[in-house]
Copies of this chain bind each other. A is one copy, B any other.
Amino acid sequence: MTGRVTADPCLISDLQSAFHPKAVAVVGVSRDDVNPPPGYTGLRIFRQFREEGFEGRLYPINPRATVIDDVPAFPSISAVPERLDLVIITIPARGVPQVLEDCIANGAVNVHICTAGFGETGEAEGKAIEDRVREIVRRGHLRVVGPNSMGYHVPASRMKMYAGVQLTAGPVAFVSQSGGHAQNFTGHGPALGIGFSKVISYGNALAMDGTDFLEYLAGDPETRIICVYLEGVKDGHRLVQLARDIGRTKPLIVWKGGLTDFGARAAVTHTASIAGDDRLWRAFFRQTGAVQVGSIEEMADAAMTFLRLKPISRSRVAVIGGGGGGNVATGDICAQEGVSVPPLAGETRRSLLSLLPPVNQSIVNPIDGPAALYNPALLGEVLGALTASPDLDAVVLHVATALNLVTTAESRALLKSCISGFGARGSGKPVVVAVEGLERTPADVEDIVREMRDAGITTYSSLRAACRSLKRVADYYSFQ
Contact = CB atoms under 8 A, between A and B. Distances in A.
Given A178-B323, A270-B324, A331 B260 contact: yes
Given A260-B336, A442-B445, A362 B328 contact: no
A404 to B, nearest CB: 8
A330 interface: yes
A54 to B, nearest CB: 23
Given A262-B335, A263-B331, A324 B439 contact: no
A162 to B, nearest CB: 9
B269 A359 contact: no
A446 B438 contact: no
B442 A266 contact: no
Interface stretch (A5-13, A55-63, A116-124, A139-147): A116-124
How many protomers of this protein does the assembly include?
A: 2
A297 B443 CA distance: 17
B263 A332 contact: yes
A259 B334 CA distance: 12
B438 A327 contact: no
A177 B179 CA distance: 47
20 contacts: A123-B358, A177-B325, A183-B439, A258-B328, A258-B331, A258-B332, A263-B329, A263-B331, A263-B335, A266-B328, A266-B362, A266-B364, A267-B328, A267-B331, A269-B327, A270-B328, A294-B332, A295-B329, A441-B443, A442-B445
- Find the residue from A267, A271, A327, A445 having the highest chain B CB count within 10 A: A327
Contact of A341 (B148, B258, B262, B343): B262
Given A184-B439, A329-B263, A439-B187, A117 B401 contact: no
Nearest to A342: B262
Interface in A260-302: 260-267, 269-271, 275, 294-297
A364 B343 CA distance: 52
Interface residues of A, number: 74
A-B pairs with the 8 shortest C-beta distances? A178-B325, A270-B324, A260-B335, A263-B332, A262-B331, A442-B442, A263-B331, A443-B443
A180 interface: yes
Interface string A238-263: 00000000000000000001111111
Interface string A348-366: 0000000000111010101
Nearest to A125: B359
Given A179-B325, A336-B260, A343 B184 contact: no
A221 interface: no
A368 B269 contact: yes
B180 A401 contact: yes
Given A270-B325, A325-B180, A327-B266, A438 B343 contact: no
A164 interface: yes
B116 A359 contact: yes
Contacts of A374: 38
A176 interface: yes
A181 interface: yes
Contacts of A231: 325, 328
A374 B297 CA distance: 26
